[in-house]
């Protein structure tokens, strides 16, 4: 009964390096999301997807790219990491036609030096 799983859970990068965060859900949810959490700012939506092969920008998309090649997976990429991208990243999913209740992963803590 995994729910939403994120990998890796921790990562340290140097400025300019690239990396990909993987999110996998086993609930057959149509919608998936990537958020970042920063102190005092709540959660802010980076990108989201309403189905396989489709993605859209959220509130803070700059510096990030995403892909959803399979319904159960949603990847978040940083092509050239910057210190401002130091944050905790959360993946979430929800069913289409629902109230929007979000199911979250445990988070990925990224530090960019």
Partner 1 sequence: AQSVTQLGSHVSVSEGALVLLRCNYSSSVPPYLFWYVQYPNQGLQLLLKYTSAATLVKGINGFEAEFKKSETSFHLTKPSAHMSDAAEYFCAVNLGGTGGFKTIFGAGTRLFVKA
Contact between 100 and partner 1 per CB under 8 A: yes
Q: Give the footprint of partner 1 on residues 25-44 (CB under 8 A).
A: 31, 33, 40-44
Give min distance, CB of 90 to partner 1, in A.
6
CB 49 within 8 A of CB 68: yes
Window 58 to 97, contacts with partner 1 (CB under 8 A): 58, 90, 92, 94, 96-97
- State how far Cα 45 lies from the chain centre: 9
Q: Does 104 bind partner 1 (CB under 8 A)?
A: yes
- Cα separation, 66 vs 39, in Å, equals 24
The residues near 98 (Cβ < 8 Å, ≥ 6 apart) are: none
Are residues 90 and 105 in contact, defined by beta-carbon separation less than 8 angstroms?
yes
Residues at the interface with partner 1 (CB under 8 A): 4, 31, 33, 40-45, 48, 50, 56, 58, 90, 92, 94, 96-102, 104-107
């Amino acid at each position: 009964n995994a729910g939403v799983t994120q990998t890796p859970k921790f990562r340290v990068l140097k400025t300019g390096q690239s990396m990909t965060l993987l999110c996998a859900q086993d609930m057959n949810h149509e919608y998936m999301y990537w958020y970042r959490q920063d102190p005092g700012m709540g959660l802010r939506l980076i990108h989201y997807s309403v189905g396989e092969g489709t993605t859209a920008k959220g509130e803070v998309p700059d510096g990030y790219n995403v892909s959803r090649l399979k319904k159960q997976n949603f990847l978040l990429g940083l092509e050239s990491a910057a210190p401002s991208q130091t944050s905790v990243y959360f993946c979430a999913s929800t069913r289409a036609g629902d109230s929007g209740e979000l199911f979250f992963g445990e988070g990925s803590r990224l530090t960019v030096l």
